[in-house]
Structure 1
Amino acid sequence: MNIVKQNRKAWDKKVEEGSVYTKAVSKEIIEKSKIGEWKITVTAGKPVPKSWFPSSLKGLKILCLASGGGQQGPVLAATGAEVTVLDISRKQLEKDELVATENDLELTTIQGDMSDLSVFGDESFDLIVHPVANLFVEDITPVWKEASRVLKDKGVLISGFTNPLLFIFDDEEDMKGNLVVKNSIPSSTLDQMTSEEITEHLMANKTIEYGHSLEAQIQGQIDAGFVIAGLYEDDFGGSRPLDKFIKCFVATRAVKMKF
């Protein structure tokens, strides 16, 4: 099974269906960003604190990692940063290109896998913005290692990821408002499916998702050479049952340190 190919097709389909994570920012947001009134998210809705960024982004080399969809990339480009957006989905990248064209922004797009950044040299970027996306790769260790490699010394990685608690529940029951424990962590979308259900899932161009442990998420960054310098939590905004009990998203600010 080619997980990368499957998730590429699935995200192209999400664009066609108009998923919220594929909706590009408006011209009004870009205009505000050009005069310094900007914000981005790497989780569901809570903005990343401005204190996590340098006072000025002008000229800063930023990689928006697995971040297509015309959201983070164009906003950061509007601040004067030199932005590169890498995403698995060509249709997601077309969203960034469209916003850039419509708003006269300089922005580079590259179709690729977040686990393989070999297209970039060592220490190519000052900052990486990585919204909730690593649930779409089976092993996140290469994601952290590659991010560390392409960041400059003291470079910053701002990441959003899912609290694995979300993945222990039956997703279909969750959507009905019922919290039914079904999966262990780590886990995969396909773990509890029959061979027939797996075939149907793949043929429908649905994503394959993975529930990673908090150790893999946080200690994984540390093992790759980062120091965690900030953390906050976020939720679905009240649209999921778990929002009543716990926030299911985490964002971290990690600094690459050479010891």
Structure 2
Amino acid sequence: MPEIGDIGEFNRQGWNAKADGGDRWSIPVDAATIAAARQGEWNVVLTPSRPVPRDWFGDIAGRDVLGLASAGGQQCPIFAAAGARVTSFDASDGQLARDREVAGREGLHIRTIRGLMHDLSALGDRSFDLIFHPCSNSFAPDILPVWRECARVLRPGGILLAGFTNPARFLFDEGSVERGEPLARNRIPYSDLDLPQAERDALLAQDPVICFGHTLTDQIGGQLAAGFMLTHLFEDDFETRDAVGQLMDCYIATRAILPS
């Protein structure tokens, strides 16, 4: 197992390994999905299973769309097939390669940029009409800069669609969840780095990325503090629920706009 050291680099390598291993979020969409998107028939997810309502997007044809930590050959190619000008920004070379794979196969144009979600300095001010940011900020130790950067690169009236894990999910010890007897043991905000080393190493052996559980103050309040206005919200979970998911929906999707 590599040394943790720099969290961004550690998680980049972890997601490269997950992409190479055929992770659920690294399986490119097929040709039929792209053909349907070209005809206006498409849906995508911010959270594990519930499609984002189409009216959350508006008409994306001809609009500038940023897929933020959203690579993997899934959402960004669909947006491009639906007529958007798409930039895919992700820390993982492997995930970006999945977007390029679909683009090359289907004759789509997707600009890909490797970087960390809290630093969008490669992107200009007011460059985008919509940001699509699915459940990925649990891999960042601090998310307030993410929301501030989103506000900087969006045009006035632009839309931020975000998915994230309900922090209550991180209260529970993973071993107890796997046993079907969830035990609330952790503090929020949560970090894998706070676990005893043996326990942390066991988690990383199963999933090679460091995770963080951010407060709702930072997840929702952080968007508001960055200047966004929240317009819609829903909860969701995986199709096959674990022991905590059987008690509550563990994932949240939000729609916010940057006022003109």
Same fold at TM > 0.5: yes
> What is the CA-CA distance between 1:239 and the residue it aligns to?
2.6
Q: Following TM superposition, by how much is the alpha carbon of 1:243 offset from its aligned partner in structure 2, in angstroms?
A: 2.3
Q: Which residues in structure 2 correspond to 1:1-259 (within 5 Å)?
A: 1-54=5-58, 56-194=59-197, 206-258=208-260
**TM-score, structure 1 normalization:** 0.95
Residues 67, 246 of structure 1: alpha-carbon distance in 2 compared, 3 angstrom cutoff: same
CA contact (8 A) 2:140 2:212 kept: yes
Q: More deviation in 238-247 or 1-10?
A: 238-247
Q: Is the 8 A contact 2:135 2:165 kept in 1?
A: yes
Cα distance in 1 between the residues matched to 2:204 and 2:30: 33
Q: What letter matches 2:45 in structure 1? A: T
Deviations 1:153-211 (A, max 9, x none): 010000000001110001122123220112010010121223x5556777888111000
In 1, the alpha carbon distance for the partners of 2:181 and 2:171 equals 13
Residue type at the aligned position of 1:117: L
Q: What runs of 5+ residues in structure 1 fail to find an aligned partner?
A: none
- Which AA in structure 1 matches 2:31? K
What amino acid sits opposite 2:156 in the alignment?
D
Distance (whole Å) between structure 1 residues aligned to residue 199 and residue 56 of structure 2 = 43
Instruction: State the shift of 1:89 in Å.
Output: 0.4
Q: Which runs of 4+ in 1 moved over 3 A?
A: 196-205
CA contact (8 A) 1:167 1:187 kept: yes
CA root-mean-square deviation: 1.6
Aligned residues: 256
Superposition deviation, residue 149 in structure 1: 0.3
Calculate the TM-score normalised by the size of structure 2.
0.94
- Give the distance between the partners of 2:103 and 2:239, measured in 1 at CA: 29
Range moving further from structure 2, 198-207 or 235-244:
198-207
Give 3-state SS (helix, strand or coil) of 2:221's partner: helix
Contact 1:238/1:244 (<8 A) preserved: no
